[in-house]
Amino acid sequence: MVRLTMDLIAKNAGHKNRSEEDFGQYVQKLTHLNLSDKNIDSIGDLSFCKNLRVLYLYDNQINQIQNLDFASNITHLYLQNNHISSIENLSSLKKLEKLYLGGNYITVVEGLDKVGELRELHIESQHLPSGEKLLFDPVSLNSLAKSLSVLNISNNNIDELEELAVLENLSYLKAVDNRLKHMKDLELVLKKWTKLRRIDLTGNPICQKPKYKDRIIVQSLTLESLDGKEIQEMERRFLINWKASRAARKKSNERMNDEQAANVEFCNFCHMHLIVIIFHKGKIMLKLILRSELTCENHW
């Protein structure tokens, strides 16, 4: 059992034999703290580290995010590969820009409704219960709608992206090794991500769909990279022109089919009816007669 405390910081920084005053000044000036891979299982009182900007706690045994109320200046928080099951106690981190939580035991992305400056969220490869997928709390998503630019949700059994459409400023989505398989659903989301520059869907069933790459390139005009490969503008223009030409041919064929159907209908009408011109009291009248009503006596 290793608890993250000031003593551990002192030991890690080599300040064990220095005076308290000297150490106090040191931690107050501390902006970066790296305590990764130290077998830490809980976060204790770090309130003296008021100027901390970057905190590395990855590859530990931490099971709860706690005691970070002091950390109003933190911009980067690295907590990947721990035993965390819930995103919580982050409301004081008003300046947090990048949050790394990959390789934990989180089942729901929540608790981010107070973190209004978050630009990057890395929550890949969660240890999920068998058959379950990573879920997203709508409140947290709406709170991140205008700030979040980078999202890594790889390897989380995700089968659709519709609820992520609210992330209007998303520029990079990494969603490799999931269960995405419906092209139409993806195309609908791409229409709303007007600032998307990179997307990586490698390892999803959707990648095996016919014209997968072509359809995405045509749908997202801002996209610069797909599955790790750069998109050439010449390639996009060719696909757009090809799509427009195909649509024009389809429309032309539909118009021709409509005209042919109208001609057939008119011919059928003429085949079934006779238009008889009648002069009566100096007036010309037209009479429509079904051919089936005609007999030998009135056939003329």
* pLDDT, tens only, 249-295: 666 666 766 656 656 565 565 555 555 555 555 565 555 565 555 55
* pLDDT, tens only, 36-85: 999 999 998 888 888 999 999 999 999 999 999 988 899 999 999 999 99
CA distance 287 to 88: 84
- Say what the pLDDT of residue 297 is: 46
User: Domains in the chain, please, with CATH?
Assistant: 2-248 (3.80.10.10)
CA distance 132 to 142: 23
* pLDDT, tens only, 76-130: 999 999 999 999 999 999 999 999 999 999 999 999 999 989 999 999 999 999 9
CA distance 15 to 246: 72
Residue 216: exposed, middle, or buried by beta-carbon count in 10 A (0-12, 13-18, 19+)?
buried
Name the residue among 62, 94, 66 with its Cα closest to residue 79.
62
What residue type is 105 in one-letter code?
Y
Mean residue pLDDT across the chain = 85
Distances (CA, A) of 91 to 6, 57, 81, 95, 118: 23, 19, 22, 10, 12
Please give the model's pTM, rounded to 2 decimal places. 0.79
